[in-house]
Amino acid sequence: MAWVVEAIAGLAGGFAMTLRHLWQRPITEEYPEYKRPLPARSRARIILTRDPEGEERCVACFLCSAACPVSCISMQSEQREDGRRRASWFRINFARCIYCGLCEEACPTLAIQLTPYFETCEQDILKLVAEKEDLLVDHGGKNREYNFYRVAGVTVLGGKGTHARESKPVNLKSNLP
């Protein structure tokens, strides 16, 4: 019998809420004129940032495209003259992006960052495909002083085994029985 009382109380509570809001004036926010303030950590449009020296942070490690659940990120890697890797082209399809932020979390160099800019509506769906030139900004984003190569301790010049604390490469044939 107690469950019947609970069911009636729940039903009456729902009707009471409906009746309470039935006589109130609706609250309408005119969107283009009034834009609701966003939370400080809201995530929307993706940008590619630069390190303090002005170089691109992206080293084309493909972790962002591997972490993306909808596969909207694609890129091609190449090696620069000084031995560092970079993305020769980088493409994001914002028509497929769900703004989950997994690409930002996966990026070891902090190259990908999400901004609060969310107004990406377009008539032509092909305009929602952003290339590297569209995504690159001239600042470091949220972490302006971070430089991946300085923190990682990787030497710019030289081959494998030339870093001060790095072991020489192992000869694979010496490991055979």
What tens-digit pLDDT sequence spans the chain (177 residues)? 889 999 999 999 999 999 988 888 888 888 888 888 888 788 888 999 998 888 898 999 999 999 999 999 999 999 888 778 889 999 999 999 998 999 999 999 899 999 888 888 889 999 999 999 999 998 888 888 888 877 775 555 566 666 666 677 778 788 776
Grouping H, G, I as helix, E, B as strand and the rest as coil, residue 136 is strand
Give the start-to-end residue ranges of the domains of the chain.
46-156
Q: Does domain 46-156 have CATH number 3.40.50.880?
A: no
Q: Which long-range contacts (CB under 8 A, 24 or more apart) does 24-29 make?
A: none
What separation in angstroms does the CA of 24 have from each of 12, 36, 82? 19, 22, 67
Q: Is the pTM of this model over 0.75?
A: no
